[in-house]
Chains A and B, each alone.
Chain A
Amino acid sequence: QVQLVQSGAEVKRPGASVKVSCKPSGYRFTDYYIHWVRQAPGQGLEWMGWINPDSGGTNYAQKFQGRVTMTRDTSLTTAYMEVTSLTSDDTAVYYCARDSTILAASDYWGQGTLVTVSS
């Protein structure tokens, strides 16, 4: 069955960087784009961007351009999302989700990774 397993919770100081991993299983890694979505405490869902695991191509939301980098390692079949220059506003649960162009939606989601930014 399809699963996306994310790395564990992180606590970071302001100004630091964090890198979250997402390891899908149950399908061919390179066949589906991966979206990254975050959710601040008590807030809604915010799309950050996507990565094409086949080509490595990316598309970032304008808000995150220059501060977010999405990469993948095809040998490890793992996607990564790094955020730099963290502030308290980046405290959130970060989700990866599999994109389905057929459904025009995200059909499988990771369990989420809580990133806490605090001094």
Chain B
Amino acid sequence: DIQMTQSPSTLSASVGDTVTITCRASQSINGWLAWYQQKQGRAPKLLIYRASSLQTGVPSRFNGGGSGTEFTLTITSLQPDDFATYYCQQYNGYLTFGQGTKVEIK
């Protein structure tokens, strides 16, 4: 099975900062990588699909990149609403999620 490793597990940042989260797959996933945002007590929300495509309605400060086995989610000019937990997910007939990255206020 494909394993997904996210880093860091926690990230402390301030409003206006630019932050980057990394997700590594145990084997090539051909760009079938999605990013979700989850707030406490809420269902995950799709942000990025196919590694770099922005889901409808998601602000352009969210940017996904990467290929092969290494992927990134960058949030430019962090806003108060962005403090949440972020998960990557591979899609290959089955799903595997990363462990999550909590973005907290510094």
Q: Are A104 and B49 closer than 8 Å at their CB atoms?
A: yes
CB-CB nearest in chain B for A49: B94
Q: Interface-forming stretch among B15-23, B73-81, B85-93?
A: B85-93
Closest CB-CB distance, A39 to chain B, in whole Å?
8
Closest CB-CB distance, A66 to chain B, in whole Å?
17
CB-CB nearest in chain B for A4: B43
The total of chain A residues at the interface (CB under 8 A) is 23
The complex places the Cα of A105 from the Cα of B43 at a distance, in Å, of 14
Chain A residues near B94 (CB, 8 Å)? 47, 49-50, 59, 61
Closest CB-CB distance, A106 to chain B, in whole Å?
7
Q: Are B89 and A105 closer than 8 Å at their CB atoms?
A: yes
Q: Chain B: interface secondary structure?
A: strand
Contact partner of B50 (CB less than 8 A), chosen from A35, A61, A103, is A103
The complex places the Cα of A47 from the Cα of B36 at a distance, in Å, of 14
Contact with B along A1-28 (1 / 0, CB 8 A): 0000000000000000000000000000
The complex places the Cα of A44 from the Cα of B50 at a distance, in Å, of 21
Q: Are A112 and B43 closer than 8 Å at their CB atoms?
A: yes
A residues 92-107 in Cβ contact with B at 8 Å: 95, 97, 100, 103-107
Chain B residues near A106 (CB, 8 Å)? 34, 44, 46, 89, 95
The answer to whether A44 and B55 touch (CB under 8 A), given A104-B50, A106-B46, A109-B44, is no
Chain A residues near B89 (CB, 8 Å)? 45, 105-106
The complex places the Cα of A95 from the Cα of B50 at a distance, in Å, of 22
The 22 listed contacts between A and B (C-beta, < 8 Å) are: A44-B97, A44-B98, A44-B99, A45-B36, A45-B89, A45-B97, A45-B100, A49-B94, A95-B43, A95-B44, A104-B32, A104-B49, A104-B50, A105-B49, A105-B55, A105-B89, A106-B34, A106-B44, A107-B46, A107-B55, A109-B43, A112-B43
**Closest 9 A/B residue pairs (Cβ):** A105-B34, A109-B43, A47-B95, A103-B49, A105-B49, A104-B91, A45-B97, A104-B32, A44-B100
